[in-house]
Structure 1
């Protein structure tokens, strides 16, 4: 490894950090830009994480703690020592000119102001002229919001042109990728331009499973001089170091080999034995390299050179130019610390002309994987950066609770459309959990060939056949340990694209704070006396009606979304359906309407104001079948033979609204009876010895008869003839239009119930189902002061004693002590054994306060015994804890 930013500059960097200067300082042997011109960003959307400077370098900063070609992201394994650019040409005078990243490049302003040299970054709205009102491209679900690209021909910042494969045309919109960076630089690092070159560098990065291991880099090079360069040459200087520090001063670089494939414009570096002591025996080293994905006139790769950096460092411009213009393809040195230069030459760069050089930085698990990904990179680039796309990530919200985390996410993923296919091909969600801050996401999947990974076994998975099908958007993770940090990522996947030879794609795992689909939880105790949402539920019944046996379970997922204090779940019904709604009683706003599921289905329960509302119906079965009136004496002469419940359930027909089933019906045997009709055709009349009455509405209704014996078309209990009650007003006419939604119960009387008499009445009791008279009301969480006061004796400190460190401390030097089961608002005072005040802590929120164990003077507390005093509106608590060195 060699830092071409110069070893001297690196040494000065620490001094600049103290003095407030730039990232690097110019010094002997280095022409790094002045501190006030320097800028640095981190590209981290994909699986390769690296710094990018604004003067023609990528990586090279791992020794300063910055990621430098880290792969996989979060692993801490930096592959890229440095990547730089050489550009050269010979002029008419015979002189040879060559500009490189070590000495000659300087940033240009990328903003309207003449002093702003920052790199534009699409994922950081502070780094460009973010404008929420700029909705150009919004119709394609890609609004610009102020994002622009630089046009080197006009010298203006213009809208990005994004390819639409459905119309085979470009449209103006936002970034082409999930993360883009743009900056301008020239070759005037020494004060005046060497060759008159101006460059625009754009980097594109995605986190899709098929291209997350690729970074696309595009350089637009414009000749601003008065000279025509007939043999312009470009060299991509790459020094990849495969390995990490092993304690001996080496980082694995001495075991590196390089290779190339001119037919594919490929070059790469790999470790000779696939093992590096700095990364440990469990890590198999990967491959990282580059591929030219565009060169002027498709010239491609014209040279591949390699060597030890010490021997190339002091070569002059003429030697470097010859190095990249000679068509030489060198073989790797024996395992050692070696770079490679991948060159393309013979380019005609006339004055005023702009050429484009495109290359991809690619990481793979082995050479085969590297080659496959390089082909994908070329395909994606050649298709204007449009490829199979996984669903857009849904936004995840995480609520920490007592020994649990409650997760909820929006509907972005199912509604997103694959731009290549033009359809919503969402197929499901996977939910992952990490206990090591994203270094891993559970157990690696074991593949069919016995290998492991790269995917992990999800915490939960849900699949749908069609994107429009209901799917869960919440999850409660229980049995967690309070005080420990848990990361979560909800990953959407699709069906894949068989026509493109691409299997199901999924979004990346994400990182809390930078990716919408990821979040973190630190479980903690609830405040003393805490009354959760579900404990506030009450069932109100209007008009003296009988309450249903239904229930509502509100579950809190986001306590920042409340817009009121009291909420109501009510019901609306008609002949065809029963639906329910949610109203904010405080504001009067309707938050959900026309909801029909009453089974508590996780996929269909809406989330309103941060609360998911589960509705459960009472059992759709009559409360009773019994005789309630007798013609003479008290003997029961009418009994139930068999009931199928709702008629629709018996035959697989739709079931109407619960208004039909909540009603109580009576078969009243009278002297005149009534006219029923055949179930088979709804129109054939049948004389019945009874009338059917809906006693809830006090209306006579209709009956249809399902007779098993075709030769006995009348109604006779001995023939096991079934009665289907049709809940429409009786008018001596048939009502075929009432089928099937107006039909309610389907049953028969016992075969011994033939000895009926005038005056007998058989009753079918209404089912205890939810209806318009039922109201379920719940309130936002609260604190019961009496319960809080009674719970003060549960306040305690954990861990106690504190011995050297707490298990949940993950950052070196960090100390964390927790006061738990606190009242919602309290003042905590910590005293020494001698009664000296150590610290005063103001608590407001959950039941846990995390203390960094610093005194009021900012010093760490010493080992010893301490007292604490908790003062609150619900009472006081005194306790003690010990700190052991």
Structure 2
């Protein structure tokens, strides 16, 4: 947007009377008791704010910071919203709002107002106890919360619902989003409302001229328990300010924060001359109460963006400073002056008019070419549209079957009703008012459909930025601070562009847009973005003041703004759990991101792609922040684990780069929901952050990089943790406590199972297991085929099959299903797909996702069943016979067999009556060389399937006449073992399972003896009737004998202590000291530790009351008086609180 100066001091009378009753919420007067503080930290920009509209607050530590990690520095000392107005009064208290009367009346009084909230320079009462400015309103946050309403903190939302129209409430339990019920596009949003009712300037007893914006309304009328100025008249100019802050963590937008202000005139009068603006106090490189006297800045007229930087690029603590950009975005509009203020080809468009009729493609367009250029349209894009949709971007839905509702397979477009939620959204409960009426709808105070009215930034005839000043910070309270209303008004309201030409110093920037009328009941808007980048100082100090990275980020800021603050959002945030172990940390997470992600910019499809797990030893994840762009600037974290969908989207997302770097999408590994980190040290604290990410969007005007969740750890000024996001865990692995025996698992007898794959249930999370619960594992079976394709011509045991899933049931809790894997849903590559056979099957080694604190590992097959040499061999006997499975046909009969030898020569005689289709072990037909009707002194049984009497079916035996002698010669011939089937009166060969030859046994005269048994077994999948049962047994929290033997394992780490150690948490604030730590290991969970000097002087006592399994405790190395201990030798005494067992030891502190 080009800089445009428009000054309208007096409006023509033809536009007089544009006001209307205010139809939004009937708020009480703002109250200091409603004041709440928050921090926006939804990306790399940290910004402290109050719900008074004030942003940042020097000299608070970390009132602003970029980047929000250990390398970041302060950027802003304060930002004030400026709302200025001139009010004309006659006869001491009668407002004059008629432009003709204002222009012609020669004896009017003029009152100047600048409404704001700021740390200094405010108007106050005579006692200085009450600032006369903007105060927050009750009703827009949970009064029991210390935070304003934050989108990522449901506990901060008003429990009974959000203020709507008048005294009505709406949408309890859901976010009151800019676009509707529960609609959250940003990674983090905040939302609050303030008003100027407490401003009593010009309403004092001694004031000759007074202005009552809401005559007859007093502070406390709506909320009698107001804590300040109760009973005084509603003051100020009668404005209501609705504020939203937005942050996106997408790599392209994570260095920017947006603020949007809806400013309404809720008074009884039109305000004829109004201006909106900002006061920005630069603070580049500051830290706490350090000053910033070396800043310099520049203003870019084309981008409406000021940017400033530290002259030497060095901030507090010697840290490198970035630059601060401040982009002026949305401005108020004048919808009644007959001028195309924003040069978009439309005149006097507005955002609060109702749609009444459909008009032609060219209707409402004053300058066609400007319109097409501004909205990037071709003439053929023009269409019939509703009259109030001046920019023609509202999209009707397609009710294909004409039933008056949008079904799941129909596109609702923007016709989603007043709640902003349409079919396909997770919180869609059915049609609401306005949905599927094929008309854009808007109801002030309640809701609005997308791309229309209040949700559409383009539906306003915006003035643009009309004023900018960059100047040295004045002395506190001096002109032009806000208490000097007239001078401050003239600074930001009157058209001017004044760049700074002095020396480097502490700078103030003011931005303004005006002058315009704000009619009674009407709302206008202003918005801005704070953004940051690293730049080369040489370029900044050149005549071009080049900042290429910042301007690239401004491009994305503009995209977000022009998309009505609808930008790509990352997948649903997963919930991470961390379980400390001995030398390991077990991390698990839910599947919310996989299942419930929806991307509005892709018409609601699930664009989830994968997970990344980050790990650090500091609260800012500095360990992980190792990725850099082509300029060497930090650009991201490196995960310790990543998994992604097997969907072909892998490698670098090169369609969207940031300074030459692409987002890595993964390598088609498959998804899992756990990770075990064994690269840890007991006693050291680790910080883990899990993010879900999508695959980005290619093909837009600006390609969008994949987006991932943000990691939030909120710290106070002492760097103590106040809050963490649900995808962050802080964990310290530890040795088990002395005397502790963990929970265990016992498997029930598995001998009755047909399948024999190795299934290993194991305990993953000690805190989540359910002691004394019994579980059952069943298996899904898929038939791949049969050796004999026709059922009447095959053995009933002829089956080639695989397992393609399994289920786990909690028997104790009524056989409830607690876990399942199927071809439709499985982690990682637990299931594989055979393209030729078109079937799914178990991978060779698979591990389940966690469930109820447990996990199952299955050691499976390469594909289908196969011979198992380890399970095969002599059970009784040792004769050197050879048993060779059929290379092809055995897999169709993968059962357990036993060859039983007897003393009877004819214990078994061949039964098959046909030699057709008999093959040897090499899968060659031998039907011409088969001898039938032979007698044997052994038989073969199928042990896998006993009948109802417990008996086993015998397999048939035939002889392969190897030397074609026509006689059965044990020293020469092979014996084929196989299944048969009966057809008619004949018995046919169903398939060869294995072949036996006795050549070596005959030659060595070591033939099998009677009662010898040889087993032939296969690795085979489970069948549908198999069920594996196991039970979880509880932990033994205190085993006395184990405790007694474990006390000798107690250690002090490090010993000796020298200066510091890795367990001590890092601090980023150079003004804070690192906290000391010494660790006792293998201690009882409940015990007392007393520490003495070598001479016996008592130093400190530690009372340990750990969880039953935790066997460590840290000591802060302070005496009981809170003093640091001196170097020397120390004695410790440990006494178990359960058994009284004791242990003495010593340790040294060198420095």
Q: Is the TM value for this pair above 0.5?
A: yes
SS of residue paired to 1:322: helix
Query: In the alignment, does 2:529 pair up with 1:360?
Result: yes
Superposed, which structure 2 residues align to 1:719-738 within 5 Å? 730-732=981-983
Structure 2 counterpart of 1:869 = 1134
Structure 2 counterpart of 1:214 = 256
From 836, 842, 859, the counterpart of 1:616: 859
Q: Do the aligned partners of 2:942 and 2:954 also contact (CA within 8 Å) in 1?
A: yes
Query: In the alignment, does 2:918 pair up with 1:697?
Result: no
Q: Distance in 1 between matches of 2:1142 and 2:588?
A: 37
Q: Which deviates the most, 40-49 or 102-111?
A: 102-111
Query: In the alignment, does 2:1084 pair up with 1:816?
Result: no
Q: Distance in 1 between matches of 2:773 and 2:151?
A: 41
Q: Which deviates the most, 541-550 or 346-355?
A: 541-550
Q: Do the aligned partners of 1:567 and 1:582 also contact (CA within 8 Å) in 2?
A: no
Structure 2 counterpart of 1:640 = 884
| Residue 796 of structure 1: how far off its partner (Å) | 2.4
Q: Which deviates the most, 854-863 or 263-272?
A: 854-863
Q: Do the aligned partners of 1:647 and 1:744 also contact (CA within 8 Å) in 2?
A: no
Residue 118 to residue 188, structure 1, CA distance change in 2 (3 Å): farther
Residue 441 to residue 861, structure 1, CA distance change in 2 (3 Å): closer
Structure 1 counterpart of 2:912 = 673
Structure 2 counterpart of 1:68 = 64
Q: Distance in 1 between matches of 2:612 and 2:521?
A: 52
Q: Distance in 2 between matches of 1:214 and 1:157?
A: 33
Residue 398 to residue 663, structure 1, CA distance change in 2 (3 Å): same
- 1:157-188 deviation per Cα after TM superposition (whole angstroms, max 9, x unaligned): 54499999xxxx96533555443323332334
SS of residue paired to 2:521: coil
Q: Distance in 2 between matches of 1:378 and 1:724?
A: 78
| Residue 341 of structure 1: how far off its partner (Å) | 1.4
Q: Distance in 2 between matches of 1:849 and 1:744?
A: 67
Residue 603 to residue 286, structure 1, CA distance change in 2 (3 Å): farther
Structure 1 counterpart of 2:1103 = 841
Structure 2 counterpart of 1:50 = 47
Q: Distance in 2 between matches of 1:465 and 1:809?
A: 41
Residue 460 to residue 679, structure 1, CA distance change in 2 (3 Å): farther
Residue 155 to residue 211, structure 1, CA distance change in 2 (3 Å): farther
Residue 723 to residue 314, structure 1, CA distance change in 2 (3 Å): farther
Residue segments in structure 1 that go unaligned for 5+ positions in a row: 1-32, 132-145, 649-659, 708-719, 735-742
| Residue 793 of structure 1: how far off its partner (Å) | 0.8
| Residue 99 of structure 1: how far off its partner (Å) | 0.9
Q: Which deviates the most, 502-511 or 109-118?
A: 109-118
Q: Do the aligned partners of 1:564 and 1:585 also contact (CA within 8 Å) in 2?
A: no
Query: In the alignment, does 2:289 pair up with 1:289?
Result: no
Structure 1 counterpart of 2:708 = 506
Superposed, which structure 2 residues align to 1:484-883 within 5 Å? 484-500=684-700, 501-511=703-713, 513-532=723-742, 536-542=744-750, 548=756, 550-556=758-764, 558-568=765-775, 570-572=777-779, 576-578=801-803, 580-584=806-810, 587=813, 589-590=815-816, 592=818, 595=821, 604-617=847-860, 620-623=866-869, 640=884, 643=887, 647=891, 661-664=894-897, 670-674=909-913, 689=932, 694-697=942-945, 730-732=981-983, 765-767=1016-1018, 772=1026, 775-782=1029-1036, 784-802=1039-1057, 807-810=1062-1065, 812=1073, 814-831=1075-1092, 833-834=1095-1096, 838-839=1100-1101, 841-845=1103-1107, 846-853=1110-1117, 865-873=1130-1138, 875-883=1141-1149
Q: Do the aligned partners of 1:105 and 1:187 also contact (CA within 8 Å) in 2?
A: yes
Superposed, which structure 2 residues align to 1:258-337 within 5 Å? 258-261=298-301, 263-272=302-311, 275-278=313-316, 280=318, 283=320, 285-296=322-333, 297-310=461-474, 313-315=478-480, 316-333=484-501, 334-337=503-506
Q: Which deviates the most, 463-472 or 346-355?
A: 463-472
| Residue 79 of structure 1: how far off its partner (Å) | 0.4
| Residue 354 of structure 1: how far off its partner (Å) | 1.6
Superposed, which structure 2 residues align to 1:147-162 within 5 Å? 148=162, 150=163, 154=166, 157-159=169-171
Q: Do the aligned partners of 1:547 and 1:774 also contact (CA within 8 Å) in 2?
A: no
Q: Distance in 1 between matches of 2:908 and 2:71?
A: 82
Q: Do the aligned partners of 2:140 and 2:157 also contact (CA within 8 Å) in 1?
A: no
| Residue 520 of structure 1: how far off its partner (Å) | 1.3
Superposed, which structure 2 residues align to 1:184-195 within 5 Å? 184-191=193-200, 193-195=235-237
Residue 124 to residue 572, structure 1, CA distance change in 2 (3 Å): closer
Residue 661 to residue 606, structure 1, CA distance change in 2 (3 Å): farther
| Residue 82 of structure 1: how far off its partner (Å) | 1.0
Q: Distance in 1 between matches of 2:175 and 2:1027?
A: 55
SS of residue paired to 1:506: coil
SS of residue paired to 1:72: coil
Q: Do the aligned partners of 1:625 and 1:762 also contact (CA within 8 Å) in 2?
A: no
Structure 2 counterpart of 1:173 = 182
Larger Rg computed on CA atoms: 2
Structure 2 counterpart of 1:123 = 152
Q: Distance in 2 between matches of 1:824 and 1:58?
A: 47
Residue 567 to residue 319, structure 1, CA distance change in 2 (3 Å): same
Structure 2 counterpart of 1:716 = none
Q: Distance in 1 between matches of 2:187 and 2:84?
A: 33
- 1:411-460 deviation per Cα after TM superposition (whole angstroms, max 9, x unaligned): 1222222232222222222221112222514252255x463530122212
SS of residue paired to 1:608: coil
Q: Distance in 2 between matches of 1:526 and 1:616?
A: 29
Q: Distance in 2 between matches of 1:224 and 1:268?
A: 35
Q: Which deviates the most, 214-223 or 507-516?
A: 507-516
| Residue 795 of structure 1: how far off its partner (Å) | 1.1
| Residue 391 of structure 1: how far off its partner (Å) | 1.5
Superposed, which structure 2 residues align to 1:385-396 within 5 Å? 385-396=565-576
Structure 2 counterpart of 1:369 = 549
| Residue 355 of structure 1: how far off its partner (Å) | 1.3
Q: Do the aligned partners of 1:162 and 1:170 also contact (CA within 8 Å) in 2?
A: no
Query: In the alignment, does 2:617 pair up with 1:435?
Result: yes
Structure 1 counterpart of 2:402 = none
Q: Distance in 2 between matches of 1:190 and 1:626?
A: 93
Structure 2 counterpart of 1:197 = 239
| Residue 59 of structure 1: how far off its partner (Å) | 0.5
From 40, 57, 73, the counterpart of 1:77: 73
Structure 2 counterpart of 1:134 = none
SS of residue paired to 1:789: helix
Residue 645 to residue 408, structure 1, CA distance change in 2 (3 Å): farther
- 1:703-748 deviation per Cα after TM superposition (whole angstroms, max 9, x unaligned): 9x9x9xxxxxxxxxxxx9999977xx834389xxxxxxxx998777
- 1:60-91 deviation per Cα after TM superposition (whole angstroms, max 9, x unaligned): 23x22242244335544110111112222334
Q: Distance in 2 between matches of 1:787 and 1:377?
A: 63
SS of residue paired to 1:318: helix
Residue 96 to residue 603, structure 1, CA distance change in 2 (3 Å): farther
Count of residues paired in the alignment: 778
Q: Which deviates the most, 359-368 or 617-626?
A: 617-626
SS of residue paired to 2:587: strand
Q: Do the aligned partners of 2:1135 and 2:1143 also contact (CA within 8 Å) in 1?
A: yes
Aligned-residue RMSD, C-alpha: 4.8
Higher strand share: 1
Q: Distance in 2 between matches of 1:81 and 1:580?
A: 59
Q: Do the aligned partners of 1:84 and 1:100 also contact (CA within 8 Å) in 2?
A: no
Residue 158 to residue 807, structure 1, CA distance change in 2 (3 Å): same
Q: Do the aligned partners of 1:432 and 1:459 also contact (CA within 8 Å) in 2?
A: yes
Q: Do the aligned partners of 1:491 and 1:507 also contact (CA within 8 Å) in 2?
A: yes
| Residue 201 of structure 1: how far off its partner (Å) | 1.7
| Residue 530 of structure 1: how far off its partner (Å) | 4.4
